[in-house]
């Protein structure tokens, strides 16, 4: 039987339901109806809620990896931001600490300068403001170096004072610097006057009195009117130090029966350790104003050691 004569359509026995075109038209009309009904009357809203409720656990489970990744990235980003903020806070605290230290130092320096200005108003002698640069590298001497020299008018033997009292005496002058020997040096001495009793004496430097050094009134009789706490000032008899400058205060007195003289220890009032701002005074009598020494008598004082040989 030729192939072209075979029946290719399904037998009528197997034909069931409408055709495909009919189903397409029906389903299209139904979909259009449902869309219009849902838009107008919300017919499918309960069905949508049921489906959404049923699918929520699955959606939540599927979103967990995404949320975990986002939270992890946010955590590390916030951790980096916190560490950067902490480092910035530490830098600001360090800067504030440095500024606070500078402010405190400036306040102390301002107070010392005000005290020096007040002292300068009380002193009639010309004064040169100076700053202590460093201590001289000599373990056997108590000396400091200031930033004023011959170019600023500093003379050898000039007294050096701070806001509290006499600090020392210029013993060496350079063009731009000067060397000041402190009163607590063993080779330094200064004529003093007891402000209470009016007795004159000579105070010698004694670096062994304490760790910071001190002074000692030598050749003072054991029955002299000296008490602990007496204020010692410059007497002005040496022609170098102006009278009335505070020098030291009597700290301790030792009177012994086996010796004629008493051991009187004094604490200098000037800041011997850590002085910064000082004033260099012009000697009361400069070398040009002093009368020439007699050829028969040796001079009793030199410029650096103006009080050697002096007696109360």
pLDDT at 233: 92
State whether 135 and 256 are in the same domain: yes
Q: Is residue 305 part of a domain?
A: no
pLDDT at 8: 61
Backbone angles phi, psi at 44, to 5 degrees: -90, 10
pLDDT at 144: 93
State whether 91 and 197 are in the same domain: no
The tens digit of pLDDT for each residue in 117-151 reads 666 666 666 888 898 998 887 777 889 999 999 99
Number of domains present in the structure of the chain: 2
State whether 146 and 263 are in the same domain: yes
Q: Is residue 15 part of a domain?
A: no
DSSP 183-229: TTSTT-EEEEEETTT--EEEEEEETTSSTT-EEEEEEEETTS---TT
State whether 157 and 276 are in the same domain: yes
State whether 171 and 248 are in the same domain: yes
Residue 197 belongs to domain spanning: 127-281
Q: Is residue 162 part of a domain?
A: yes
Question: What is the CATH number for 134?
Answer: 2.40.10.340
Q: Is residue 161 part of a domain?
A: yes
Q: What is the DSSP-derived secondary structure letter of residue 14? A: G
The tens digit of pLDDT for each residue in 187-206 reads 899 999 999 988 999 999 98
State whether 182 and 237 are in the same domain: yes
Low-confidence ranges of the chain (pLDDT < 70): 1-16, 102, 105, 107, 109, 111-125, 209-212, 285-312
Q: Is residue 203 part of a domain?
A: yes
pLDDT at 123: 67
Backbone angles phi, psi at 306, to 5 degrees: -75, -15
State whether 52 and 134 are in the same domain: no
Q: Is residue 257 part of a domain?
A: yes
State whether 168 and 218 are in the same domain: yes
pLDDT at 292: 45
Distance CA 211, CA 183 (A): 15
pLDDT at 168: 93
Q: Is residue 106 part of a domain?
A: no
- Residue that finishes a domain, picked among 79, 99, 119: 99
Q: What is the DSSP-derived secondary structure letter of residue 242? A: P
pLDDT at 15: 56
State whether 191 and 46 are in the same domain: no
pTM of the model: 0.56
State whether 33 and 178 are in the same domain: no
State whether 161 and 265 are in the same domain: yes
Asked if 151 and 175 count as a contact pair (C-beta separation under 8 A), the reply is yes
State whether 271 and 215 are in the same domain: yes
pLDDT at 287: 43
């Amino acid at each position: 039987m030729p192939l072209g004569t075979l029946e290719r359509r399904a037998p009528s026995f197997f034909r069931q339901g409408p055709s495909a075109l009919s189903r397409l038209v029906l389903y299209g009309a139904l979909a259009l109806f449902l869309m219009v009904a849902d838009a107008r009357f919300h017919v499918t809203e309960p069905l949508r809620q049921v489906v959404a409720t049923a699918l929520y656990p699955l959606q939540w489970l599927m979103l967990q990896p995404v949320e975990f990744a986002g939270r992890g990235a946010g955590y590390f980003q916030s951790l980096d931001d916190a560490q950067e903020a902490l480092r910035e806070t530490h830098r600001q605290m360090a800067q504030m600490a440095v500024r606070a230290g500078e402010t405190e130092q400036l306040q102390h320096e301002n107070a010392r300068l005000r005290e020096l200005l007040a002292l300068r108003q009380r002193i009639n002698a010309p004064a040169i403001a100076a700053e202590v640069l460093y201590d001289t590298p000599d373990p056997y001497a108590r000396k400091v170096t200031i930033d004023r020299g011959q170019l600023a008018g500093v003379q050898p033997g000039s007294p050096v004072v701070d806001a509290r009292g006499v600090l020392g005496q210029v013993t060496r002058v350079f063009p731009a610097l000067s060397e000041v020997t402190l009163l607590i040096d063993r080779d330094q001495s200064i004529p003093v006057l007891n402000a209470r009793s009016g007795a004159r004496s000579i105070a010698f430097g004694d670096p062994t009195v304490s760790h910071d050094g001190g002074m000692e009134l030598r050749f003072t009789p054991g029955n002299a009117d000296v008490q602990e706490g007496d204020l010692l000032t410059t007497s002005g008899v040496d022609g170098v130090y102006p009278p009335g400058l505070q020098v030291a205060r009597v700290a301790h007195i030792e009177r012994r029966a086996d010796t004629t003289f008493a051991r009187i220890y004094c604490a200098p009032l000037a800041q011997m350790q850590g002085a910064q701002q000082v004033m260099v005074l012009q000697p009361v009598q400069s070398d040009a104003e002093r009368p020439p020494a007699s050829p028969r008598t040796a001079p009793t004082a030199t410029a650096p050691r103006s009080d050697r040989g002096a007696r109360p």
